[in-house]
Structure 1
């Protein structure tokens, strides 16, 4: 209205001036400091003026409504009709934080697929303080994500009451968003006294949630797990159409010794044998590629429980230039070593998703699982699979015992794709 009428905005306050006496004070007009004032600029300056009035006599300030109420369900404010404006140069750390707790998925791969949703949540409001609650083995991963302000962990077999107490002791949270579906994870947050819980209905937990995100209709095409997490963020009010949400968490360095090209191999898969391509095929790929690319040094990666697998694969490689790092790295060290790789040759594993999150290209072998649902995110990844009538079955072990979906993929196929990707890297360099 002031802009339409070209009228000044005058901050006014009524202060107590003794028994049954009050003083009306009119302050100078507010100005946005711009040649052409905007409603957003004037509003932000008016808020600063109100802060000055309140600080002069806090006892005289009368709160007529809950000014800082949290909208429901869109508490992230990106769709909030009042909008968000901060004055130029304003220090956002002065804002009273909105404390959000996110219950992370338990698996490394799922956690990596949830990263775009974490970015969307963090961007949802300027006062956001985002804390991740996760299994202890994922602490190093989430600590490396710039959008995460704090990490709270739990042990695998820790009791519900103990976990709830740990959450309470870590601070106050306005809302918790659950990327897990279990009733137990909901009980932990419920007992922690968090006033608003948000998630999918999961198993037997709908009554404990304050906001239940609807599932997609069944007749639509299957969606990638990353978009399932993003839908939950959108339900909370986040904007999810920004391509930057899928940017690498920590960009790859490609650093290696002079004249050396590092290529990773992840031949394991903790989920089960059905996701593992035969080790002799990995060895065959390394041998074939090394003939054309003698400067390649192969890096063997894997989980602590896969050390024996790493030793066996190392023996198969023989004189092929390689380093066996299976079970020998912390998660932080694995991140650093993956970043130095030009490429990763891998099964459908958490390491594959970690490489994708870091922006490292992959050649990924799929068999019992479906890349449409859990493939690496981004356009720099090559999928290799051999279709059989029973694939994908999503089983840990092949019901028929012969793993045709995996053995049908040849070392020659994968070696050709690896060579093509290395050639691209050479051109780009």
Structure 2
């Protein structure tokens, strides 16, 4: 069986999609799975052993560009795919499998997709979690509810390149002999997912005082945030804190996050990466909710403020105060950390 996956566009969603690939390989061990994905997701897919080939999506996120989609779909006909799974909910994401003349095209009902998908699932809301919605597509429609649950799903597990990991540690002069903790203080979604920088600085100072090294992870857009955190630290603590935001490739970040015994993270793509490489995770939620996209790991503590207006899922706080983040104090987060690490040691 030759399978084409139309992958999601966000790093966290792409990590979670590995659970679908695991399920497909479990049901069809000889299946050859290719994934069509944006260029920035290719490094993540390269760390998934279930994937045969990654095809780079030539159209930018949100762009329609039907001519390019037609040309790509036509070029894929030579691969003779038997089945396509379309993970995004947009109509444009369903076009390429149609143009590729893939006979079976499975996906959830989305915007105007009647006729584009041959196996249209009517209501994704029958599953609470996004990962359940992905995995359910591997099952017959009349068996989904009985065969898919969060508890039965294999968690994502990204391969780690130990040689590259060692090279990266040397490059940034991070000691492999001292414990490392990661802080992922950014979030592409917006300010309602970003726990305050001063709180992250408090956490970093406390962890360094206990003998840990601290790595600040993120992309180029997170550099200002991580620089502010660094500037709030004492000179002595700065020597044990490494500002890696914008300094690593995504795949280097994967290998470095795998060195961390614990990662403190906003609800972001790097949170899901940390889960998939086996780190303990303190997952910090503001406007969003762990009841939809939790980190898929057994070694997790979810922390959030207990206020009535969350989760609102807004990019900007409608009430301006951002209390879903400001009311969650470092002392509360450290309590969760102590509880998680004492359990993992036992």
TM-score band (shorter)?
Answer: 0.7 to 0.9
Distance between the aligned counterparts of 2:121 and 2:270, measured in 1? 29
How far apart are residue 106 of structure 1 and its match?
0.9
Q: Which has the higher contact order (CA 8 A, sep 6+)?
A: 2
Q: Could you say which residue in structure 1 is the equivalent of 2:307? A: 388
Q: Could you say which residue in structure 1 is the equivalent of 2:69? A: 163
Distance between the aligned counterparts of 2:177 and 2:252, measured in 1? 23
Q: 1:206 to 1:404 in 2, by over 3 A?
A: same
Distance between the aligned counterparts of 2:44 and 2:66, measured in 1? 24
Q: Could you say which residue in structure 2 is the equivalent of 1:402? A: 321
Q: Contact 2:16–2:156 at 8 Å: present in 1 too?
A: no
How far apart are residue 214 of structure 1 and its match?
3.3
Distance between the aligned counterparts of 1:175 and 1:224, measured in 2? 24
Does 2:164 match 1:246?
no
TM-score w.r.t. length of structure 2? 0.86
Q: Superposition RMSD on alpha carbons, in Å?
A: 2.4
Q: Could you say which residue in structure 2 is the equivalent of 1:145? A: 48
SS in 2 for 1:149: strand
Q: Could you say which residue in structure 1 is the equivalent of 2:198? A: 280
SS in 2 for 1:340: coil
Distance between the aligned counterparts of 1:371 and 1:106, measured in 2? 20
1:271 to 179, 189, 201: 189
Q: 1:251 to 1:137 in 2, by over 3 A?
A: closer
Q: Contact 2:301–2:337 at 8 Å: present in 1 too?
A: no
Q: Contact 1:283–1:316 at 8 Å: present in 2 too?
A: yes
SS in 1 for 2:158: coil
Distance between the aligned counterparts of 2:268 and 2:55, measured in 1? 25
Distance between the aligned counterparts of 1:114 and 1:183, measured in 2? 19
Q: 1:362 to 1:211 in 2, by over 3 A?
A: same
2:228 to 294, 297, 312: 312
Q: Could you say which residue in structure 2 is the equivalent of 1:129? A: 32
Tell me which structure has the larger Cα radius of gyration: 1
Gaps of at least 5 residues in structure 1 are 1-97
How far apart are residue 203 of structure 1 and its match?
0.7
Once the two structures are overlaid, the 10-residue window that deviates more, 271-280 or 168-177, is 168-177
Q: Which residues in structure 2 correspond to 1:229-244 (within 5 Å)? A: 229-235=134-140, 240=148, 243=152
Q: 1:106 to 1:362 in 2, by over 3 A?
A: same
Distance between the aligned counterparts of 2:189 and 2:98, measured in 1? 30
Q: Which residues in structure 2 correspond to 1:100-139 (within 5 Å)? A: 100-139=3-42
Distance between the aligned counterparts of 1:258 and 1:186, measured in 2? 46
Distance between the aligned counterparts of 2:331 and 2:23, measured in 1? 41
CA distances 1:278-337 after superposition (whole Å, capped 9, x unpaired): 00000001112222x21x111101122222222222212333211111011212111111
Distance between the aligned counterparts of 1:247 and 1:113, measured in 2? 6
Q: 1:329 to 1:151 in 2, by over 3 A?
A: same
Once the two structures are overlaid, the 10-residue window that deviates more, 267-276 or 169-178, is 169-178
How far apart are residue 348 of structure 1 and its match?
0.5
Q: 1:376 to 1:258 in 2, by over 3 A?
A: closer
Distance between the aligned counterparts of 1:139 and 1:224, measured in 2? 24
TM-score w.r.t. length of structure 1? 0.70
Q: Could you say which residue in structure 2 is the equivalent of 1:302? A: 218
SS in 1 for 2:321: coil
How far apart are residue 160 of structure 1 and its match?
2.7
SS in 2 for 1:400: coil
Distance between the aligned counterparts of 1:207 and 1:158, measured in 2? 18
Q: Contact 2:64–2:92 at 8 Å: present in 1 too?
A: no
- What count of residue pairs does the alignment treat as equivalent? 325
Q: Contact 1:289–1:418 at 8 Å: present in 2 too?
A: no
2:93 to 175, 181, 185: 185
Q: Could you say which residue in structure 2 is the equivalent of 1:334? A: 253
